[in-house]
Amino acid sequence: MTALEVRNLHKRYGHHVAVNDVSFAVEEGEIFGIIGPNGAGKTTTVECIAGLRKPDSGSISVLGIDPAKGRAEVRERLGVQLQESSFPDAIKVAEALELYSSFYRDPADWRELMERVGLTQKRNAHYKALSGGQKQRLSIALALVGNPKVAILDELTTGLDPQARRDTWSLIERVRDTGVTILLVTHFMDEAERLSDRIAVIDGGRVAAVDTPAGLIAQASAVQQVRFRMRQPLDKGVLTELPDVTDVEITEGRWLVTGRGQLLSSVAGALARAQVVAEDLRVDQRNLDDAFAAFTGRTPEAREPSERRGD
Q: Of all residues in the chain, what percent carry a pLDDT higher than 70?
A: 94
What is the structure's pLDDT at 209?
94
- Integer angstrom CA distances of residue 186 from 28, 46, 89, 244: 20, 12, 26, 36
What is the structure's pLDDT at 309?
41
The b-or-e profile of 73-104 (16+ CB within 10 A means b, else e) is: ebbbbbbbbbbeeebeeeebbbbbbeebbeeb
What is the structure's pLDDT at 83?
67
Q: What is the pLDDT of residues 125-179, one digit of tens each?
A: 999 999 988 998 899 999 999 999 999 999 888 888 888 889 889 989 999 999 9
Q: What is the pLDDT of residues 206-248, one digit of tens each?
A: 999 999 998 998 887 767 889 999 888 899 999 999 999 999 9
What is the structure's pLDDT at 186?
92
State the average pLDDT over residues 68-91: 86
pLDDT above 80 for 58: yes
| Mean pLDDT, the chain, integer | 89
pLDDT above 60 for 33: yes
**Strand ranges, E, within 230-304:** 245-251, 254-259, 279-284
pLDDT above 80 for 82: no
The DSSP annotation for 32-85 comes to EEEE--TTSSHHHHHHHHTTSS--SEEEEEETTB-TTT-HHHHHHHEEEE-SS-
What is the structure's pLDDT at 8?
97
In the three-class reduction of DSSP (H, G, I as helix; E, B as strand; rest coil), residue 211 is classed as: strand
Radius of gyration over alpha carbons of the chain, in Å?
24
What is the structure's pLDDT at 194?
94
| 164 C-beta neighbours (distance < 10 Å), count | 17
Q: Of all residues in the chain, what percent carry a pLDDT higher than 90?
A: 62
Question: Which of 3-12, 25-34, 93-102, 281-290 has the lowest average pLDDT?
Answer: 281-290
CA distance 62 to 77: 8
84 — pLDDT class (breaks 50, 70, 90): low
pLDDT above 80 for 279: yes
Amino acid at 91: I
- Integer angstrom CA distances of residue 191 from 96, 157, 185: 28, 9, 10
User: What element of type H or E holds 94?
Assistant: helix 93-101
Q: Please list the helix, strand and coil fractions of the chain in percent, rounded to the nearest 5, in that order.
A: 35, 30, 40
CA distance 100 to 228: 58
DSSP 299: P
How would you classify the pairing of strands 31-35 and 198-203?
Answer: parallel
Residue 224, Cβ density class (10 Å: 0-12 exposed, 13-18 middle, ≥19 buried): buried
pLDDT above 80 for 306: no
What is the structure's pLDDT at 311?
55
**Considering the entire predicted model, what is its pTM?**
0.79
| 93 close to 115: Cβ distance less than 8 angstroms | no
